[in-house]
Every structure is written in C-alpha cells, then in structure tokens.
Amino acid sequence: MARKNQMIALDVSPLANRKLGKYGLTRAQLNRLAPRVKRIVTRVERERGDGGHRYRELPHDRLMRQAVEEFAKALRPKTQNLVVLGIGGSALGATALHQALNHPQYNLLSRRKRGGPRLFVMDNVDPAHFAGMLDVIKDDLPGTLFNVVTKSGETTECLSQFLVVRNLLTRRLGREEAKRRIVVTTDSHSGTMRAIADREGFASLPVPDGVGGRFSVLSAVGLFPAAMCGIDIKAVLKGAAEMDDMVRSTSLQRNPAALFAAVNYLYYKKGLDLSVMMPYSNALSGLADWFRQLWAESLGKARNESGGKLISVGPTPIRALGTTDQHSQLQLYREGPNNKLITFLEVSRFDKDVPIPKAYKDQPALSYLGGTSMGKLLNTEKQATEQALLASSRPCMTIRFPSVSPHAVGQFIYMLEVATTIAAGLFGVNPYDQPGVELGKKITYHLLGREGYGNINALMHRERHQT
Ligand code: PA5
C-alpha cells in the first residue's frame, strides 16, 4: 500500500479562491461533471479488461522490466555513449526521465561519477545538431551504442538517422561490429525497421502491441535508455503501479487523473483553451515537454471518436519554467487575455539545496537573502507568482512532488497518461490516433520522390474527403 506522504498530489484549492470571480471553479460545477467522469472511468476500466488501453498494463509487466534490466546490465559496462535515434513519443520520454532523474550535468561528469554512458537523444534531423553529436562520439565509435526507437518502424526522421549511423559504423568498424553497435526498439511483428532488425540480426527490444509512441515511456522505449544510465526503473514502475490504484477510482475526489482531466475540460469549455504547465524545477521541465506532446497529439482532433462529426477540439499545451519564465511569460499570463489554465509543478524537498550566505548587511537588496536557500527562494517565488496570478483572476493549480524521485516521476507519468485518456472521453475524441500528421508526411514523400507518392493532387483530394 502506498504511503500517502510519498504520493504526488494535485492541489486544486486555488481554483476556489474568491479573487478568481467568474474564472473560479465551484464544487457544484465539478459535481455536475462527476457522473460523466464516472461513466468514462468505468468504461475505460472495462475496456482495459478486454485488452484496451494497453499502456495501462506496463507498470505491472515484470517480465518486460526484467528483460530491459538484463539487456542494460549486459551492455552498460562497455558503452561510453548511448545515442537514441527517434522522434516524438520515441524520444521525449527518454529525455524526460533523463532530465528528471540523472545528474543535471550528467554528460559532463566523469564515467566513474556518471556510472553509465553519456546520453544523446536525437529528436530531430537538424543536420547541424546531428553532425554535432557525431563530432563528439566519432572518436569512440566502438564504445558507442545506437538505440533506434520507432514503434511503426516507418518514420522518416528515425530511418534517415539510422541510415547515416549504419553507414558510418559499417565503414569504420565493418559489418559484424556495426551490428553489435545497434539496438532496435520497435514493434515485435510489423514495420520496415522490424524486418531490417530481423534480417540483419540487430538486437532488439519490443514496443508492446497496442502501445503508441506518446504512451510508451514506461516500456523499453523510455526504460532502456533510463536503465543504461542507472535510473532505478523498478522504482519508476512501482510509482506508476501505485498511481494505478488511485486512478481506477470513479470518484473525482480520490482520482487525481480524473480531477486533472475534469478541471482542464471545464476551463476549456469556459474558453480558457491554453493549458500551461509550469514546473518550478529544471529537472521537471522535460516532463512538461513530454506532457505537451501527450496532451496535444492525443486531444487535438478534427472529428469525434466515431470519426463522423467534425468537432475540431483540443486544448493547446504550453510549457513554461519557474522562475525563468517569470522574466519572460508572466507579464502576458497576468495581463494578457485570460485564456490560460496554469498548472504549477512544485517540489517539496530538493535532493540538494544551496544555502545563500549572509553578507552586505547595509544593502537591503542583498541582506534579506542571507540565511535562506535557493530551494526556499524558488518555492517562495512560486507561491508569490500563484498569489499574483490569483489577484488578477488567473486560474492556477499545483501538482506537488514530495521530491523528484523515480517513484514520484513514475506516478506523475502514469497520472497524466490516464488523465489524457479520461480527457479524451470528455472531449469525445480518440486519444490514440494522429490523423492530422499524415498529410505532411505524404507531401514529404512526394517531394523526396518516394515510390507511390507521385500524384500530389490525388493525395490532397483524398485528404479533403477525410477531414
Ligand atoms: O506519439 C506518437 O505516436 C508519435 O509522436 C510518434 O511517437 C512519432 O511520430 C514517432 O513514431 P514512431 O515511433 O513510429 O517512429
């Protein structure tokens, strides 16, 4: 049984603040939505029992975790650099776990202090960015492992990265050694990358059936790079499993995922369709980036779930960082259009705090800081920002982390994945597809001369009929 004080908590109490006026949220408004939420949670649990929502089972998949741990244990000692090749849901989870749970300057530490390989996640095909990574690793190719991550096995960006790396490895190390420097994480049965991995004999890890990119961080997709860098993936999954106990509840009071979804939905309906996630923690900002994709790609849809009715819905997720964005975004958030719901992420106890020494007794701008700490200053500024936002009727709430631990991060990931599924129920959309990204892919194929994509007019025509 999870200890309450170890659990992350969603605090929506500021939304009841009187200063919010018509931008506040009353218990009555939440109560009116509660029966719908209850029906959605009940339906999701039923569908889960029938094999749906497969990502929900990942925290309980002991065999998957053990396979990842064993793989990582064998490869870790001989790997100096781990390069993840993938994009979107195949990259953001690895980055989020790394940023949250590894040392903030991980790649700059000595190997002894890091414990694992340096990590590079190549979430793009920007040539300067990619060539920059190659510059760093090219002197130690035998010590570099490339993790090609693609659920579909078809994604242009990932496959082009793979072609570059395979060629480099084969030229420099020969075919046999090149093979040992690549691990493929992909669907176990289908896709071009699966076929290549099987044909060429690359080691591989499966992306479980029914688990799409943005819901895959708790599979080998996110866990293998994490385990390679020494992150306690068992604790991440334990946190997620404990959150699973909470998010099965049909009560809004007891289910933080349902509450998060309901609050976001109600504000969207009030016209506040921008959803800002603002961690007061650099470690958590990768998770806010990960959430940005999860929320946008899952909820932003033209048509309702059955595919019939044109509804064009979806909140726009935005990532900010406290205190940094107090000096960038806050002016807009307080005085610009009142169209944002702000979710702060707050850390109660930082692993390391930095005391601020006393000095300059005669200088009021400095003397009040002496004797406090950076952690205290950061959290005080969060509190101050919240009060300032409420004073100008800007709604905000907080997800509080007891500390940034693998256990808390696992809870957070799972809570927001489930919140996304529930929000999709409220918006009436399918959270697991992304039809809106297909046309751009096809036009790229056309422009680059891929076979079967010669007729651009036919592609456009088909698209017009589908949307
Ligand atoms: O969440 C998603 O489904 C997408 O963002 C994908 O992760 C992304 O497009 C990459 O796809 P794939 O993993 O198939 O290469």
Per-domain boundaries in the chain: 4-47+236-427, 56-231, 435-466
How many Å lie between the centroid of ligand 1 and the Cα of residue 294?
Answer: 11
Q: List the catalytic residue out of 327, 352, 361, 465.
A: 327
Instruction: Give yes or no for a contact between 420 and 431, defined as CB atoms under 8 angstroms apart.
Output: yes
Write out the DSSP string of 401-433.
Answer: ESSS-HHHHHHHHHHHHHHHHHHHHHHT--TT-
Closest Cα partner for 257 from 49, 403, 424?
Answer: 424
How confident is the model at residue 359, as a pLDDT?
96
Round the average pLDDT of the chain to a whole number and report it: 96
How confident is the model at residue 5, as a pLDDT?
64
Query: DSSP alpha helices (H): ranges in 24-123?
Result: 27-49, 62-75, 92-101, 111-114
How many Å lie between the centroid of ligand 1 and the Cα of residue 205?
Answer: 16
Query: Residues lining ligand 1, judged by CB closer than 6 Å?
Result: 87-90, 150-152, 155, 158, 212-214, 297, 434
Atom of ligand 1 nearest to the CA of 215: 1
Active site residue 441: yes
How many Å lie between the centroid of ligand 1 and the Cα of residue 131?
Answer: 23
Q: Which residue's C-alpha comes closest to atom 8 of ligand 1?
A: 88
Please give the CATH topology (third level) of the domain spanning 56-231: Rossmann fold (3.40.50)
Q: Ligand 1, residues 85, 125, 152, 190: which to mutate, most atoms within 8 A of Cβ?
A: 152
How confident is the model at residue 319, as a pLDDT?
98
How many Å lie between the centroid of ligand 1 and the Cα of residue 214?
Answer: 7
Residue 152 buriedness (CB in 10 A; 0-12 / 13-18 / 19+): middle
Instruction: Encode pLDDT of 283-309 as tens digits.
Output: 999 999 999 999 999 999 999 998 789
| Alpha carbons 233 and 226: distance in angstroms, whole number | 7
For the whole model, what pTM was predicted?
A: 0.96
How confident is the model at residue 460, as a pLDDT?
78
Active site residue 297: yes
CATH of 4-47+236-427 given 3.30.465.10, 3.20.20.70, 3.40.50.10490, 3.40.930.10 = 3.40.50.10490
| Alpha carbons 309 and 430: distance in angstroms, whole number | 13
- Written in H, E and C, the secondary structure of 174-207 is CHHHHHHCEEEEEECCCCHHHHHHHHHCCEEEEE
How many Å lie between the centroid of ligand 1 and the Cα of residue 125?
Answer: 15
Q: Which residue's C-alpha comes closest to atom 15 of ligand 1?
A: 150
In the predicted model, is pLDDT for residue 463 greater than 90? no
Active site residue 176: no
